[in-house]
């Protein structure tokens, strides 16, 4: 199926419609479940099949624990758990950072994003990906964890170290991963230890002197699941607040605004549309783009017989464009009423525990930049940025001109 | 596999779980809520929001509550008192509204005072 066919006869509403379709075109097959010899894996693009795979965790589950270096990367993190431990820890995460928590931190997230936006606007130009989206997500997370974000040197240092970790993260989860002995993994591990050297003293202090922050709450709640809960476990749990899908999502949303002046004007006139814009961004951009699963027991799905041990790639942007589920699914429509549950946050037992937080953060990051500017556009001094990334897919750098 | 609402829900019905459920699969009887097992996606979002700690994954059910696995299913697969047809799988609880009838098991529990 050609990209132009996928857009269909409907006139595209947004300049990025065709551009984004081209980023997952390589995954379109002749049926909704097919074997990819190059990846030695099943590719799943259908909505119903994706939903089933994500729901039936006894038959399909993550292969992360088997990847070389996963234990060193994640520690005792939700993503390497399964069964009862996973269910209990998943519930703990939802207790800690569910809807109420997310709404509670909204005002503070707005304040942080407004402050960061205002500083960038003074310069007139910025890379909205690294200097704004990534920095805002990290800083908002650090703040609600209970890390002192007024220590700007420490925050800047941690953000730099997180970049090494992010490179390892992408390589660890793409294709079959990379050896722990590789330079990327060793550089990532070294960065994690440097980050730990900064954060562990804070974590230790918070154990004896709990505050009204997430680090203190993680100490308390984690111990209800694991009696031997320790400072490294707290650190492992914190990663999700500091580095997550909201970064690539926010980059993509800001780029979309730079490309679509009419949409930008509409959101400026009516900020109540921002929540819908973010939701459509999740469906359409689906920054968490390939969800990986491994077959646990022989099963038939989508007319294909899968064997225990087979690997699966769920291609979320394609599932999120099922024409049976969304009208004109290949069009970015910021005012779309989401007719179905999209899989940008996964689904089923692995449903992202940060889905409330991510939405709030992205809404406030977009809202703050619009509030602090009168115009955003791509900086013509730089070549057009490119979409990249197999697991977390997004666009960067996004060099932009910021008009007051 | 499914999550199950147990006896701790009876006469409480806070409905926090109903709001949290991403697929709208928690239905309201008269004195308790019930999870439609075929519609439940096993995400567990309902568990931490229940103030009565009434919801369990079926494999985690306490011995004393195991009968609610079948009872939740019966709410949909058996014709409820006063009805000629089972509810089946309506697809979403909100459009259906309050069913207003319970399974014989839930109806048999003594009435209790609650704060809700």
The predicted-structure confidence for A212-259, as pLDDT tens digits, reads as follows 999 999 999 999 999 999 999 999 999 999 999 999 999 999 999 999
CB contact under 8 A, A351 and B22: yes
User: Is the pTM of the predicted complex or chain greater than 0.90?
Assistant: yes
The tokens describing A343, both together, are: 């899989």
pLDDT above 50 for A9: no
Average pLDDT over residues B14-38: 95
**Residues A348-387 pLDDT 10s:** 999 999 999 999 999 999 999 999 999 999 999 999 999 9
Q: What is the pLDDT of residue A23?
A: 92
A371: CB partners within 8 A, 6+ apart:
A114, A117, A271
**Residues B30-75 pLDDT 10s:** 999 999 999 999 999 999 999 999 999 999 999 999 999 999 999 9
**Residues A119-151 pLDDT 10s:** 999 999 999 999 999 999 999 999 999 999 999
To test the contact with chain B by mutation, choose from A349, A350, A359 the residue with the greatest count of B C-beta atoms within 10 A, namely A349
**Percentage of residues in chain A having pLDDT higher than 70:** 97
The residue written with tokens 């995460």 in the block is A93
Q: What is the pLDDT of residue A5?
A: 42
Q: What is the pLDDT of residue B113?
A: 74
Q: What is the pLDDT of residue A392?
A: 87
Query: Chain A contacts of B55, Cβ < 8 Å?
Result: none
Distance CA B41, CA A9 (A): 35
Distance CA A337, CA A280 (A): 9
Q: What is the pLDDT of residue A215?
A: 98
**Percentage of residues in chain A having pLDDT higher than 90:** 93
The tokens describing B25, both together, are: 């699969």
Q: What is the pLDDT of residue B13?
A: 86
Of B20, B43, B57, the CB nearest to A348: B43
**Residues A50-79 pLDDT 10s:** 999 999 999 999 999 999 999 999 999 999
To test the contact with chain A by mutation, choose from B14, B17, B41, B59 the residue with the greatest count of A C-beta atoms within 10 A, namely B41
Residue A4: pLDDT band by 50, 70, 90 thresholds?
very low
Q: What is the pLDDT of residue B38?
A: 95
CB contact under 8 A, A87 and B44: yes
Residue B112: pLDDT band by 50, 70, 90 thresholds?
confident
Query: Chain B contacts of A99, Cβ < 8 Å?
Result: 20
CB A367 within 8 A of CB A117: no
CB contact under 8 A, A91 and B23: no
To test the contact with chain B by mutation, choose from A351, A352, A354, A357 the residue with the greatest count of B C-beta atoms within 10 A, namely A351
A119: part of which helix (H) or strand (E)?
helix A106-123
Angle at A90 between CA A393 and CA A288, to 5 degrees: 5
Distance CA A260, CA A375 (A): 11
Chain A CA closest to residue B19: A99
Of A54, A55, A91, the CB nearest to B48: A91
Bond into A182 cis (ω within 30): no
Query: Chain B contacts of A84, Cβ < 8 Å?
Result: 57, 59-60
Q: Residue B101, class by beta-carbon neighbours within 10 Å (0-12 exposed, 13-18 middle, 19+ buried)? A: middle
Query: For A19-23, A148-152, A176-180, which range has the lowest pLDDT when averaged over its residues?
Result: A19-23
Q: Which residue has the higher pLDDT, A196 or A6?
A: A196
Distance CA A126, CA A397 (A): 9
**Residues B77-107 pLDDT 10s:** 999 999 999 999 999 999 999 999 999 999 9
To test the contact with chain A by mutation, choose from B21, B48, B62 the residue with the greatest count of A C-beta atoms within 10 A, namely B48
How many Å lie between the alpha carbon of A225 and the closest alpha carbon of chain B? 13
pLDDT above 90 for A339: no
Query: Chain B contacts of A56, Cβ < 8 Å?
Result: 1
Distance CA B26, CA B29 (A): 10
Which among A112, A66, A124, A57 is positioned nearest to A296, based on CA atoms?
A57
CB contact under 8 A, A341 and B60: no
Report in angstroms the alpha-carbon separations of A171 from A116, A184, A258, A390, A392.
30, 8, 29, 9, 11
B3-93 — its CATH code? 3.30.70.20
Q: What is the pLDDT of residue A382?
A: 96
Homologous superfamily in CATH for domain A45-403: Cytochrome P450 (1.10.630.10)
The β-bridge partners of A304 are: A301
Distance CA A117, CA A372 (A): 6
CB contact under 8 A, A92 and B42: no
How many Å lie between the alpha carbon of A52 and the closest alpha carbon of chain B? 9
How many Å lie between the alpha carbon of A130 and the closest alpha carbon of chain B? 32
CB pairs < 8 Å spanning A and B: 47
CB contact under 8 A, B43 and A347: yes
Residue B114: pLDDT band by 50, 70, 90 thresholds?
low
pLDDT above 80 for A3: no
Of A57, A84, A341, the CB nearest to B42: A57
- Please state the domain extents for chain A: 45-403
Chain B residues with a Cβ under 8 Å from any Cβ in chain A:
1, 20, 22-23, 41-45, 47-49, 57, 59-60
Which among B82, B77, B17, B81 is positioned nearest to B53, based on CA atoms?
B17
CB contact under 8 A, B43 and A349: yes
Q: What is the average pLDDT score of chain A?
A: 94
Chain A residues with a Cβ under 8 Å from any Cβ in chain B:
51, 54-58, 84, 87, 90-92, 94-95, 98-99, 341, 347-349, 351
Distance CA A188, CA A179 (A): 12
CB A333 within 8 A of CB A283: no
Of B41, B44, B60, the CB nearest to A347: B41
CB contact under 8 A, B23 and A341: yes
How many Å lie between the alpha carbon of B53 and the closest alpha carbon of chain A? 12
Q: What is the pLDDT of residue B115?
A: 52
Query: Chain A contacts of B57, Cβ < 8 Å?
Result: 84, 87
């Amino acid at each position: 199926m050609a990209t132009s066919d996928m857009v269909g006869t409907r006139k595209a509403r947004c300049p990025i419609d065709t551009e984004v379709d081209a980023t997952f075109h390589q995954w379109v097959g002749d049926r909704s479940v097919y074997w990819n010899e190059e990846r030695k894996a099943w590719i799943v693009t259908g909505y119903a099949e994706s939903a089933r795979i994500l729901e039936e965790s006894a038959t399909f589950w993550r292969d992360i624990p088997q990847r070389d270096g996963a234990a060193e990367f994640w520690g005792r993190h939700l993503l390497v758990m399964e069964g009862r431990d996973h269910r209990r820890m998943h519930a703990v995460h939802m207790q800690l950072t569910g809807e109420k928590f997310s709404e509670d931190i909204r005002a503070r997230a707005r304040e942080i994003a407004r402050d960061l936006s205002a500083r960038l606007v003074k310069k007139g130009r910025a890379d909205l990906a690294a200097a704004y989206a990534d920095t805002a997500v990290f800083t908002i997370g650090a703040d609600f964890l209970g890390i002192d974000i007024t220590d700007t040197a420490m925050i800047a240092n941690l953000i730099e170290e997180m970049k090494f970790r992010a490179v390892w993260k992408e390589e660890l989860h793409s294709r079959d991963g990379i050896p722990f002995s590789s330079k990327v993994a060793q550089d990532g591990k070294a960065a994690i230890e440097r980050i730990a050297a900064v954060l562990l003293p804070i974590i230790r202090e918070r154990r004896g002197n709990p505050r009204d922050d997430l680090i203190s709450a993680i100490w308390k709640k984690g111990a209800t699941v694991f009696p031997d809960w320790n400072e490294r476990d707290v650190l492992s749990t914190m990663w999700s607040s500091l580095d997550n899908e909201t970064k690539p999502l926010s980059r993509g949303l800001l780029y979309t605004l730079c490309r679509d002046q009419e949409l930008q004007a509409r959101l400026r006139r009516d900020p109540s549309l921002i929540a819908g814009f973010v939701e459509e961004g999740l469906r359409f951009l689906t920054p968490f783009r390939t969800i990986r699963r491994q077959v646990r027991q022989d099963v038939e799905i989508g007319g294909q017989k899968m064997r225990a041990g087979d690997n699966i790639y769920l291609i979320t942007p394609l599932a999120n464009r099922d024409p049976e589920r969304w009208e004109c699914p290949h069009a970015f429509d910021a005012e779309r009423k989401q007719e179905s549950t999209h899989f940008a946050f996964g689904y089923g037992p692995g449903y992202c525990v940060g889905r409330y937080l991510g939405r709030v953060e992205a809404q406030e990051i977009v809202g703050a930049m619009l509030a602090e500017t009168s115009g955003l556009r791509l900086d013509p001094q730089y070549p057009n940025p490119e979409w990249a990334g197999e697991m977390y897919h997004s666009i960067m750098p996004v060099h932009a001109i910021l008009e007051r | 596999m499914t999550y199950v609402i147990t006896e701790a829900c009876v006469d409480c019905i806070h409905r926090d779980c109903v709001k949290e459920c991403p697929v709208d699969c928690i239905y309201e009887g008269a004195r308790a809520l019930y999870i439609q097992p075929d519609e439940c996606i096993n995400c567990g979002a309902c568990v931490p929001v229940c103030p009565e700690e009434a919801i369990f994954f079926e494999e985690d059910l306490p011995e004393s509550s195991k009968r609610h696995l079948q009872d939740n299913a019966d709410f949909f697969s058996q014709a409820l008192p006063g009805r000629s047809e089972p509810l089946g799988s309506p697809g979403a609880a909100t459009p259906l509204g309050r069913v207003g009838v319970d399974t014989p098991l839930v109806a048999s529990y003594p009435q209790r005072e609650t704060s809700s």
